[in-house]
Amino acid sequence: MKIKANGIHMNYELSGKEDAPVVVLGHSLASSLVMWRPQIDTLSQRYRVLCYDTRGHGGTDAPAPPYTLEQLGEDAMALLDALDIDLVHWVGLSMGGMIGQCIALNHPGRFRSLSLCDTAAALSKEADPVWQERIDLARREGMAPLVQSTLERWFTPPYLALNPPMVDVIRRHILANPVDGYVGCSEAIRGLNYLDRLSEIKVPTLIMVGEDDPGTPVDASQAMHDRIPQSQLVVLPSAAHLSNIEQTKAFNHALMEFLTDVSTLST
């Protein structure tokens, strides 16, 4: 379904129990809400689940860049307001986790909990040339040259060798991603710098990361865990960046256990 929010048409899906607390799922760069397929059925048994496509991705509009993380956060808030949703559990992976941090810091009253998965709170200066190279390549040649290297960062070699169906789904979504959306969100990510503010986050927070994630490694998750007061850290073995896909069972177990504990504490 589509709805106009913050000046763009946003694509979203709502599923699960109608009167239950809402869980929002925020996806990674160059993907879409489709990456959450392995979680939908499990979450929908207990929660109302809102998946949405970030600005420049999937079925959501892709205006010309640049974008900022604050803008992506305001998009999400506008979507919640348009759907008349107040308090939510936010689950964000990679870019979705960066947007989650933005909202938690700028709209602290909107979250019941925060789950930050395979993400970071700041980028090193050494990473900047890498981001520029990817942006330049996308502008020059489109998304095709980025597909294989992205998959190799997102999944471990043994998992890629199995060629499971979700890898092909992700491959097709990377290839189809609008260049403006990829460039705009890449530029937004380059501005990531929330590490020194993380102690302001007061909601229960789950930090989850694949043990073999090369892009947002365990050290980045540990740095967030050290700074967010009510946080717990879960490291998933044999998983790279899209740990929700590569280790679905372990990811879902940790997430559901966390959400259940949060719900118990709030009653």
Q: What is the pLDDT of residues 62-98, one digit of tens each?
A: 999 999 999 999 999 999 999 999 999 999 999 999 9
Q: In whole angstroms, give the CA distance from residue 267 to residue 265.
A: 6
For 58-76, give the secondary structure using H, E and C. Answer: CCCCCCCCCCCHHHHHHHH
Residue 243 has pLDDT above 60, yes or no: yes
Phi, psi at 24, each rounded to 5°: -100, 135
Helices (H), 27-164: 37-44, 69-82, 95-106, 128-141, 147-154, 157-162
Cα 256 → chain centroid = 17
Q: Which residues pair with 127 in a beta bridge?
A: none
pLDDT at position 134:
98
**Helix (H) or strand (E) run with residue 190 in it:** helix 179-190
**Whole-angstrom Cα Rg for the chain:** 17
Report the alpha-carbon distance of residue 215 to residue 237 in Å, rounded: 16
Q: What is the pLDDT of residue 264?
A: 82
Entry pTM: 0.98
**Nearest alpha carbon to residue 121 among 92, 90, 154, 97:** 97
For residue 111, give the nearest of 123, 97, 122 by alpha carbon.
97
Output the average pLDDT for the chain: 97
* pLDDT at residue 267 is higher than 80: no
Tell me the average pLDDT across 169-191: 98
- Using DSSP's 3-state secondary structure scheme, residue 54 falls into coil
Query: For residue 266, is pLDDT > 80?
Result: no
For 4-37, write each residue's pLDDT tens digit. 999 999 999 999 999 999 999 999 999 999 999 9
* 221 close to 193: Cβ distance less than 8 angstroms: no
Domain 2-266: state its class. Answer: alpha beta
Whether the Cβ atoms of residue 203 and residue 112 lie closer than 8 Å to each other:
yes
Q: Given pLDDT bands bounded at 50, 70 and 90, which one contains residue 263?
A: confident
Tell me: the pLDDT tens digits for 107-156? 999 999 999 999 999 998 899 999 999 999 999 999 999 999 999 999 99
Q: What whole-number distance in Å separates Cα of residue 55 and Cα of residue 239?
A: 27
Domain boundaries, the chain: 2-266
Q: What is the pLDDT of residue 85?
A: 98
User: What does the block give as tokens for 259?
Assistant: 């959400």
Nearest C-alpha neighbor of 156 from the set 145, 147, 167, 165? 167
Share of the chain above pLDDT 70, in %: 99
